Amino acid sequence: MKPDLKFAPRVIGACLLSTALLLGTLAGADSARADVTAPEPLAAFPQSLLAIRTASGKVVNFKIWTADRPSRQEQGLMFVHDIDDHAGMLFLFEPVRQISMWMKNTYLSLDLLFIDATGRIDYIAPRATPLSTDIISDPRPVAAVLELKGGICDQFKIQVGDRAIHTSLGTAP
């Protein structure tokens, strides 16, 4: 499977950041650390509410951050050690296309929900392995990927076919 090249900088940037931080620490040079851009705090990402309506009619609400520009898509939830059970990160893709992701520099397990252009959850990659470079993808084109804490889909009985409701997906009332 060929990775989506849009996310290649996510790994390259993270590797460069890790190397620069390590070199700066080892050398004790404050100037080396000053040239490195630290990960953007999640509080700076746009925040909103997203709901998932399950096949049984249950609605589960999440407070999400949106990776709304390339640098935020590259960062995603990298370097984050924990998130709330009702929190997540939404990646939007225009145009709709096949998306591939990985868990490099992501310290917590995630459920990755691949969402089509109608808001339908098309594929779920449950409990993705932290720090893995294995490619995770849906073979069909999607409009978005929602990252939730690993195990949340099982906990709230979220399944393929359920609907994501959010203004960015055009599915909010």
Domain positions in the chain: 40-169
Q: Which amino acid is at 43?
A: A
Q: Which amino acid is at 4?
A: D
Question: What's the CATH code, domain 40-169?
Answer: 2.60.120.1140
Q: Are 65 and 45 in contact (CB under 8 A)?
A: yes
Residue 143 dihedral angles phi and psi, to the nearest 5°:
-100, -20
Q: Are 121 and 158 in contact (CB under 8 A)?
A: yes
3-state secondary structure of 151: coil
Provide the residue-wise pLDDT of the chain in tens; the chain has 173 residues: 334 544 444 444 443 333 333 334 334 433 333 444 788 999 999 999 999 999 999 999 999 999 999 999 999 999 999 999 999 999 999 999 999 999 999 999 999 999 999 999 999 999 999 999 999 999 999 999 999 999 999 999 999 999 999 999 988 87
Short-list 150, 107, 105, 146, CA closest to 127 = 150
Rounded to 5°, the CA angle 64-77-28 comes to 140
